[in-house]
Every structure is written in C-alpha cells, then in structure tokens.
Structure 1
Amino acid sequence: MSSEPPSCPSTPIDLDNTMPNNPSQKQYWVWLYFSNVDKEYVECHVMNRAGNPCSKKIKCDFTGSTKGTLLILILSCFQQLCLESLKTSLVYFISDCDLQLSITESTSFRKLLQLCNPKILEILVGQAAVTFHLSSVYFFLQSHICNILECNYQLISFTTDCWTSPNVTAMKAVTGHYLDPDFNLKSILLGLTKI
C-alpha cells in the first residue's frame, strides 16, 4: 500500500479550447427560449398559461438588463422608516438589552443597521437624539400604565420582590398583575428602587 498522493495528469489542459470558437455564440441556457429577429431584437418563445407563445420582442443591449430593475425591487421591499419609529425602536432596544446610549455612535452598530436596511443612514440618529427621545417614551409609557390600571380591570394583584444583583446592589420591585379581556396574564413593573 503506497502512501504517495495521486499523480497529476502529465498533459496540461488547454483552457483556450474550452471556450466556444464563435464569440457571438450564446453560452447561457436562457437563450434556448429566444430566437433572433434581427441584430437588435430577440423574440421570446415561452408559453403563457393559455398555451400561446409570448412572442414579446426584447432589445439585446444593456437597456434590457434586469440588474437595475432587481435592485430597485429589492430596495423597495424595505419598509419606509420614519424618524419617530426609529428613535422609539432604538430606545426599546437599548433598554431591553441594557446597553449604553452611546451604542448609537458605534461604527459597527451603524454598519449592522445598514446591512439590515441600506437606507437607514439617511435617518439614523445619534446619542443626543436618543437621550432626548427617551424621556418622551418614559412619559408615554407612564401614562399608558396609568390608563391600564384605571381601566375596567376589577382585580389587580400587586407583588413585591427583593434581590441582590451580581455587583452586590440590593433592589426591590413592585409589579402589578392582571388578566386582560382575553384572559391573558399581563404583568407591569410599577416601581424599582435600590434598598
């Protein structure tokens, strides 16, 4: 049993012979569905639902390319963002993930958002705008919680909980629990303070 690697072929491959001799010869399978009408146009032979050939004439130059059309269609799929929804989403993201407000200034964060939506840089805001918007979101949520508690909910249960965080900070929270009209259990954090 030999441990030598398999030998390479001794005859070099001629790459020039792998290409078609006629440069005008169509190399892609899609051209099977078209025939030349003249030097500028081709005719489509794909059958439609009725069983008739399409017979549409398409110009054979770069104006008939679908690359630009596809790019427009892809970019139009992104939801049009408004400044308020973006700022509110950033506030929720930062608070849910317990991040610093300065993350909005980070280059990698901006690149990540641009990857998700290429048009995001047109309206992306910085730390100062998010900080200012944070107070308006806070007051909105405060009034929303008051409205929930004042609604026709007949039974609201209040619970308290105390714990110590990993950095030895003692905390105490008050939470309200209630059932919505569809009998789903809802919980609202009403207060959180250091002990």
Structure 2
Amino acid sequence: MFENFLEWLPKLLDGLGVTVMLTFVTMPIALILGLVFALCRLDGSKKMLAWPVAALVEIIRGTPLILQLFYIYFVLPYVGIRLDPLVAGVVALSLNYAAYLSEVYRSGIAAIDRSQWEAGQALSMRHGAILQRIVLPQAIRIVIPPVGNYFVSLFKDTALVSTIGVADLLFQGRLLASASFEYFAIFTVIFVFYFIISFPAMRGVRALDLQLEKGIRR
C-alpha cells in the first residue's frame, strides 16, 4: 500500500515546506497586529480607533476562517483588489489570528494588578511608558502559553489555503491522491506528517507553561 511512498515524498515535502513557511510568516504578523488591536482597544484616549478595531475583531471572531479566506480571495477582486493565493492566505490567517491574539493580550494585560499602574503614575510616568516598561513585560509571561497553543493551531489551519490553490502539504496530497487513487496511503502519510510536528510542539508549549508556573510561584 505504501510501496510508492518514495515517489510521493518529494512532492509532500515541498508541500510541507510551504505549510511551515506559511506558519512562520503569518505568526509574527499576527502577533504584532494582535498587539496593535489590543492596545487600540485598551487606550482610552483613542476611542476613534477603539470602536472600528473592536468591530473588526468581533466580525473576524464571529465568522469562519475559511469564509474570510474565500472573501479575501474571491470577493475582493470585485472591488479591484486581486491577491496572489499565497498572499491571500497570509492575509486571511494573519487577520484571523490577530483578532484572537488581541483578546489574549487584553486578558494578559488585564491580569496585571492595578497597583502596577499606580506605581508608575506615582513616578510620573506616562501611560505608554507604564505599559511598555512595567505592564507588558509582566503580561508577556502570562500570554506565552496561549500564544504557543495558537502557534500550533495556526500550523494546522494553514491547510485551509489549499482550497484556493496554494500548494501546501494538503494540496500536494490531494493532487497525488487524485492521480493515483491511493487516498488511504497518501492521506495517512499527511496525517502522520502533521502529527509528528504538532505533537512535540504541543508538548513543548505544555512544558513551557509548567516552567512559567513554577517561576511565578517563586
């Protein structure tokens, strides 16, 4: 059943390379954009930005990722915005994960005791300086574990870009399976590829979470 494995392997590895690349390109964008979204909503002096950002975040969180992907790739051309499938995939994934990460950031910042803000104000520090020097460094320790979980989820969710023609691991598998009709063998190999990357990553996130918990207790 798996006698043609070596024939499939180069194509599958090419697809896996695209999947990994998408993950490592998208995650930094989502991390930065999510922080921007969170800060816009937390800064009371920027209400003109807070409402549109809040609306965008709720729309993204309230609709399926695959629909957002289709909208960006298939609908935006009607208003003159045409994106390469790979670019459309990065945009959709980045916006989606930024919306969820913004809530992670907001929760992390909200978890910091109010006395930390008051201490900064007592030193005549501005809001931005308190956030940057006192609050964010503490909040980062809180948000690292959920961010790690989102990183693993993103790796798996990149499979959705195969629906718009991006030659990722799943797309390459579908091509090979449709040509050879060896669906069981090919998709089993793809299943294993995703698992052997995701499982160690999940264990690593768990180990990091435990280490941070120990550090906080000390």
Q: Please, what TM-score do these two structures have when normalized by structure 2? A: 0.23
User: Which one has the bigger strand percentage?
Assistant: 1
Q: Which has the higher contact order (CA 8 A, sep 6+)?
A: 2
Q: Please, what TM-score do these two structures have when normalized by structure 1? A: 0.25
User: Which one has the bigger helix percentage?
Assistant: 2
